[in-house]
Amino acid sequence: MIDYEKTGVVKKGDIDVPDDERLEKGPVVVIECVENIPCDPCVAVCNFGAIDMDEITDVPDIDFEECTGCALCVTECPGLAIFVVDCSYSEEKCKVTMPYEYLPVPEEGDEVTALNRKGEEVQKAKVTNVRQSGKTYALTLEIDKENVWDVRGVEVKR
């Protein structure tokens, strides 16, 4: 049984993640979709064939080498389960791009609170990019490298 089935909270060990060699090459997708639900817009939106599934109820099968980190899939996922991480540009920092459907919407340069999957504070972080697709935003936060597998949410106060 994966941890998610016991706790309701996904952990790194529950999902397929890129290895250190791939992380060093550039931004790459992390998909935290663990339920066998009938859903596949992530497959359709990827222009690089990096996401695949045989049956619509499968969890996504990711080819990290094909992923360019474009982040188009982040705002397409109705489960808000897709992230892009970039640890390729610094020894100390990483960027995490995540879906965001709350108000207020932050602006680039804002300081926000980066949260873990339980909604607990991990650290303060700077918003480095805000992108909108439909009614969903994709926020990019710069965080400490050691927290790249923990930060998956954000609290914004204005």
Q: What is the DSSP string of 109-150?
A: T-EEEEE-TTS-EEEEEEEEEEEEETTEEEEEEEEEGGGTTT
Least gap, CB of 132 to ligand SF4 (angstroms): 16
The CA distances from residue 50 to 46, 112, 114, 122, in Å, are 7, 31, 28, 30
Closer residue to ligand SF4 in complex, CB, 82/110: 82
Shortest distance in whole angstroms from residue 156 CB to ligand SF4: 23
To the nearest whole angstrom, how small is the minimum distance from the Cβ of residue 52 to ligand SF4? 10
Residues that bind ligand SF4 (CB under 6 A): 29, 31, 33, 39-42, 45-46, 48, 50-51, 60, 67-73, 77-79, 81-82, 84
- Identify which of residues 84 and 114 has a Cβ nearer to ligand SF4 in the complex: 84
Q: Which is nearer to ligand SF4, 113 or 128 (CB)?
A: 128
Up-side HSE of residue 32: CA atoms within 13 Å toward CB?
Answer: 24
Question: 75 vs 114, which CB is nearer to ligand SF4?
Answer: 75
In SS3 terms, 18-76 reads as: CCHHHHHHCCEEEECCCCCCCCCHHHHHCCCCCEECCCCCCCCEECCCCCCCCCHHHHC
Nearer to ligand SF4, 60 or 110 (CB): 60
Token reading at 124: 């303060």
Min dist. Cβ of residue 8 to ligand SF4 (A): 16
**Least distance in angstroms from the C-beta of 81 to ligand SF4:** 5
